[in-house]
Amino acid sequence: MRCEIHDVHLWRARTQELAADAGELAATLSPDEQQRAQGFALRKDREAFILRRGLLRAILSQYLPEGPDEIRFRHGYFGKPHLDLGSHRPGLYFNLSHRMGLVLCALGRGGPLGVDVEFLAPMRQLSSCQATSRLPSPPCRQQRGCWPSTFGGPGRRRTSRLRATV
């Protein structure tokens, strides 16, 4: 598959849909990754890690001349994986995010990139407050509780909209 310098490719999967291919995906993991997987205390976390890392390898193999089991990673200061430039063409960047069984992978050549999976709690009925793209007025928020704290605030709303439209 080809990814041009200004392209960003997004891949989406659900771990429950990948479960049928668990054996095949697990076979592509390096010994280090297999050891890391064994470090998870809960079976479901271990299996999810194997599926996510196997999926990442399968996706990257679509853009590299190596097979999924031949791809080599290095890890940054906080453990974030990146391609080992000794064995791969430079300029291929990726980021993977997961939450509640949803896996999202962004891949591009233009530079480091990021992707996030976030689930937002639904807002309560705004009863006497008018639902608009603006925040309810301060008296409305205080008197009627129209702004649920679980939403994360106006900055998060704007950031999420930007992320969804980029």
Whether 84 shows a pLDDT value over 60: the answer reads yes
Rounded distance, CA 42 to CA 71, Å? 27
Give me the mean pLDDT over the 67-91 stretch: 82
Whether 164 shows a pLDDT value over 60: the answer reads no
Domains of the chain: 8-108 (3.90.470.20), 120-166 (no CATH)
Tell me what pLDDT residue 150 has: 44
The average confidence (pLDDT) of the chain is 80
**147 neighbors 135 (Cβ within 8 angstroms):** yes
Whether 147 shows a pLDDT value over 70: the answer reads no
**33 neighbors 77 (Cβ within 8 angstroms):** no
